[in-house]
Amino acid sequence: MRHILILMISTFWATGAWAMPRDVEFASIDGGTLQMSDWAGQPVLVVNTASQCGFTNQYEGLQALYDTYKDRGLVVLAVPSDDFNQELASAEKVKEFCELNFAIDLPMTDIEHVKGTAAHPFYKAVADETGFVPRWNFNKVLIGADGKVVATWGSTTRPQSAEIIHQIEKALD
């Protein structure tokens, strides 16, 4: 943990702004790990998700964004979370649900915490940088190719909204 803090501090002093530590990793829903460093130089839209939420149909829009922009470098990362008591009991059930109902093939993490003291280091870093903490499922964080938070959105902003697409287009240019 100390090396992450040192990396964050040195990034701040070198650039004048916080950047997401690239050594942050997530457990993958498929097994193994997903590392932010694998996507260095690419924008990443990170979304905390849940399978039993009124916003669950946003998976369709997330997959559509991924399909539209992945060849240009966009990564859409779904982070299932039960912090709002609306996720299925296991990663296996989440994966099956997403594949059957939404044909999801975008990267997904194992079930993670996104708020509070148990929050995943990614979400702690975003909160430290911006003050943004997910208030509900399907909150979105766009990380630019430079590792900086470009923008954040709440649940009611749909994945294919004009403002998200505008920010993605800018991040890809």
Q: Kindly list the distances between the CA atom of residue 37 and the CA atoms of 6, 52, 85, 130, 148, in Å, as whole numbers in the listed order.
A: 17, 31, 30, 21, 13
Q: Which residues contact 34 (CB under 8 A, 6 or more apart)?
A: 25, 26, 27, 28, 77, 107, 109
Cα–Cα distance, 3 to 7 (Å, whole number):
6
Pick the catalytic residue from 4, 8, 27, 53. Answer: 53
Whole-angstrom Cα distance, residue 167 to residue 160? Answer: 11
- Examine the residue annotation and report whether 98 is marked as an active-site residue of this protein: no
Residues carrying an active site annotation:
53
